[in-house]
Amino acid sequence: MTDNRDLLNIGSDYGSTTVHLGAPGVEILSTVLNNGYDFLGDTRGTGTSAAAPQVTGAAALVLANCPSLTTSQVKANLLNTVDPKPSLTAKTITGGRLNVNSALRVPYPLSVTVTGALGASGEVTSTPAGLACSTPTASGSFTNTCSHSYQCSSVTLTATPLGKVGFGGWSGACTGTASCTLTTDKAISVTANFYLLPTGPPGCGTSCQ
């Protein structure tokens, strides 16, 4: 447990291989009964009885913000976003103090690969904005990969053929040919496949390409 100066309290346990992180527990401004605020003191849960609920509450907030996370993901979000503190170096596994705000804002990468067989042109865009990935224009190059990181949220990908081109469908985390909606709660990879449409008289098929 740490105090309002981010110092390890004399009554706290510690261990570089057994205690994961520090959390506020001494002289911390908090809500109290009867709609009030006060600094945590001896009669108001000073110590681990105050620090432990801080971590529990942080885990609950992270899961409420992104209900699809696994238990191991929630734990990783808390441990990977601590604020490093000298007082906790070599005293905890992470060497840091809990940071709930950072744990709620963990970014997850969404990678989109756009392929255009024989030079077919197409584009994939996202809602909310962040991704606008097109097939490359260089001669002989048919694949382009773009990436953007989102906090845990719902992201919709839309594939748009350009010119006399068809959309062959998604692969990876998306399937089918309609717009694809994903929950960005982990690293995700998607591929969009475009192809050239026949250009000859009706009924000539792919031999007209």
**How far is it, in rounded angstroms, from Cα 95 to Cα 197?**
58
Whether residue 79 is predicted with pLDDT greater than 70 in this model: the reply is yes
The larger pLDDT score, comparing residue 172 to residue 31, is at 172
Q: What type of residue sits at position 34?
A: N
The 10s digit of each residue's pLDDT in 181-203 is 999 999 999 999 999 998 755 55
**What region does 69 belong to: left with phi over 0, alpha with psi -120 to 50, or beta?**
beta
Q: How does residue 46 score in pLDDT terms, banded at 50, 70 and 90?
A: low
For residue 71, pLDDT over 60 is answered with yes
pTM of the model: 0.82
The answer to whether the CB of 103 falls within 8 A of the CB of 58 is: yes
Cα separation, 134 vs 124, in Å, equals: 6
Catalogue all structural domains in the chain, each as residue range(s) with its CATH number.
2-104 (3.40.50.200), 107-208 (2.60.40)
Predicted local distance difference test score (pLDDT) of residue 138? 58
Tokens 């929630």 belong to 74
Confidence at residue 200, expressed as pLDDT on a 0 to 100 scale = 55
